[in-house]
Amino acid sequence: MKKLLFFIFMSLSYTAIAQETVNDSLINVTGGLREINEDLFPGAVIYSGNDRKQVFVQHKGIEMWCDRAVLYQKDNFIRIFRNVRIHQGDSIKMSSEYAEYNGTSQLAFASGDVFMRNPETTLKTDTLFFDRAKQEAYYRSGGTVKDTASTLESRIGRYFIKEKRYQFLDDVKVTNPEYTIDSNHLNFYTDTGHTRMYGPSTIKGKTSTVYCERGFYDTRNDEGYFIKNSRIDYNNRTVTGDSLYFNRGRSFASATNNIVVTDTINKSIIKGHYAEVYRAKDSVFITKRAVAISIQDQDSVYIHADRLMVTGPENDRIVRGFYDVRLFKSNLSGRCDSIVTRQSTGLTKMITKPVLWSGNSQMTGDSIHIQSNTLTERLDSLHVFYNAFIVDQDSSGGFNQIKGKELIGKFNDSSQLEVVNINKNVENLIYSRNDKQELIGINKGTSGRMEILFQNKEMTVITNYDDPDDKTYPPEELPENARTLRGFKWRGDERIISKEDLFRGKPKPILTPIQGIPLPDIEEDFFKKETPFNINKNSRLKEEDLKTRSTDTPDAIKEEKENEG
């Protein structure tokens, strides 16, 4: 009789186990010693493993191992303890000290040295929620994610398994041997190492710091693209623009639309709509309405060219401009085909068809050099080489003209032309007036050298030296066609009167459309379900644990940081 009862009991037990195995909607437990202790765990079956074999749990493709399990079969709920391992195929492998799992809602909760691994990254945290129905994991007690290139830390994290994407919120920090990223909202794609940053974010390296309020960064290839208040700070330069590209490995950055490159040491600015910066070479290339602005003698100096290039270390910057160069200072302006100015020497060279205006005087020649005092930053002198020609328009509409092989001018302390010397093969045509400013004659002559003194921006004293030979003609005896010297050309219509004239006659540049970075999708609340999670009475969790706290949403975090700022 006893043998018959034992056989019936064992048959029923195996039948029950077989039914559990067939019915995959129920949690299945195998292995270990089974016992029932209604005092400690009412309504549950306790499974205990040993040194050789752990308790094994299965449910709809998820597998769990532990030293001890407490199964509430009626509720389809299990709690597992010590040396916990949870596997979901090859996508998720997790370990912890404790876990619990609801077979109906498919919500798992793990705590105590939680370590989760997927094919690309690992995660360490104190507590983790895993919604198998949505295929999402979530923590809000701080976590650390590592991939092949970087370590990512945040207070709140959410992993979307199908998308292979993490969403990190609040005090996000990415640490790489070459840089760190600080943000309050960052999405990280585990298969590519790509990040998208939303809100104030900073990427700080040894030689540069990038700031943006929306941006993309490839953590494995060290390059990124940034928009919305984006900025790159180098040791001595700051670059801003509507969009910025940055490549750390090449020490290269480019900027598009409304660019400002600020030299923080030399107090100069370059503007334009396209720029390239090569940090290792200390060079900046800029085009599309490019203009360089520097401070000289407490006055702004503007240099515009189709293309500008700034090279050299901070104490020896060299500015080069190419094609249709225009120069403007409050008391000096000019044009040429190309220009070179060097900070350490204070020398500016205007090359190819240069023209310079100072006061009422126009000066031209094969090339023009302007020398500044490197200590006082004031204009010191100018030198016109070969075919020097100075023209001053007379009040009657005629032109005072002096030409020679070279011209050397000196500026006074107010950066106004004070004296000019014309040397070798000098020719002149000067309008003579009486005290009433009435035209009384026109002087034509030659000499070996001529000195001109200026006062109030006008020629006042003209003196010939070295074999002067000149003659004054009554105005009526010198016809209009004889009132110009050979090589005379008045270029007054080209004169730069204001900084706005730097772009006069030039079409507005066509700006490159900026490829934006869209705002992130509004994610559905992790704990939101059509059928709310039911808290088992034996769970460690409370009802409030399965709700998103008001302080843990992206908008709340953004508002908090703005208030702190």
Position 532 scores a pLDDT of 67
Share of the chain above pLDDT 70, in %: 95
> Helix, strand, or coil here: 467?
coil
H or E segment to which residue 105 belongs: none
* Mean pLDDT, range 339-354, rounded to an integer: 94
Lookup result for tokens 């920090």: 173
pLDDT score, position 437: 79
Confidence of residue 10 (pLDDT cuts 50, 70, 90): very low
- Reported as a single tens digit per residue, the pLDDT across 141-186 is 999 999 988 999 999 999 999 999 999 999 999 999 999 999 999 9
Give the count of beta carbons closer than 10 Å to the beta carbon of residue 62.
Answer: 19
CA dist 20 and 22 (Å) reads 5
> What amino acid is encoded at 7 in this protein?
F
The whole-number pLDDT of residue 17 equals 43
Neighbour-count burial of 45, counting CB atoms closer than 10 A to its CB (0-12 exposed, 13-18 middle, 19+ buried): middle
94, burial (CB in 10 Å: exposed 0-12, middle 13-18, buried 19+): buried
Give pLDDT tens digits for 537-553.
Answer: 999 999 889 988 888 88
Selection from 123, 189, 130 nearest residue 154 by Cα: 123
| Separation of alpha carbons 459 and 431, rounded Å | 11
Strand-pair partners of 201: 212
Question: Residue 401 carries which DSSP code?
Answer: E
Stretch 329-343: mean pLDDT: 93
Beta bridge partners of 290: 305
Looking at residue 325, its pLDDT comes to 96
Residue 78 neighbours by CB under 8 Å, 6+ apart: 27, 29, 57, 69, 70, 71, 72, 100, 101, 103
Say if residue 4's pLDDT is above 60.
Answer: no
CA–CA–CA angle 368, 268, 250 (5° rounding): 105
Q: What is the pLDDT, as a whole number, of residue 531?
A: 64
Measured CA angle at 554 (ends 549, 556), to 5 deg: 60
Q: What do you get for the CA distance between the two ends of the chain, in Å?
A: 83
Distance of CA 397 to the CA centre of its chain: 54
Q: Is the pLDDT of residue 408 over 50?
A: yes
Q: Give the chain's mean pLDDT.
A: 89
Consecutive H or E run containing 159: strand 156-160
Q: What are the C-alpha distances in Å from 322 to residues 30, 45, 57, 285?
A: 81, 85, 75, 11
In the block, residue with structure tokens 């009433």: 436
Predicted pLDDT of residue 281: 87
HEC sequence for 4-20: HHHHHHHHHHHHHHHHH
Q: What is the pLDDT of residue 14?
A: 40
Average pLDDT score over residue span 277-284: 90
CA angle (110, 44, 61) in 5-degree steps: 50
Task: Kindly state the DSSP code that residue 2 receives in the 8-state scheme.
Answer: H
Mean pLDDT across the stretch 68-95?
95
State residue 435's pLDDT score: 81
How many residues in total does the chain contain? Answer: 565
Instruction: Give the confidence band of 490 by pLDDT, cuts at 50, 70, 90.
Output: very high
Does the pLDDT of residue 450 top 50, yes or no? yes
Strands (E), 235-343: 237-247, 252-263, 268-278, 283-296, 299-311, 318-329, 332-342
Cβ contacts of 505 within 8 Å, gap of 6 or more: none
**What is the model's pLDDT at position 481?**
86
Of the candidates 313, 279, 214, which has an alpha carbon nearest to the alpha carbon of residue 518?
Answer: 214
Torsions phi, psi of 383, nearest 5?
-140, 120
Lowest mean pLDDT, pick from 281-290, 511-520, 524-533: 524-533
CA pair distance 251, 325, nearest whole angstrom: 29
d(CA 120, CA 42): 42
Q: How confident is the model at residue 530 (pLDDT cuts 50, 70, 90)?
A: low
Q: Residue 200: which pLDDT band, with cuts at 50, 70 and 90? A: very high
Which one, of 306, 315, 329, lies nearest residue 499 by Cα?
329
Q: Stretch 430-446: mean pLDDT, rounded?
A: 87
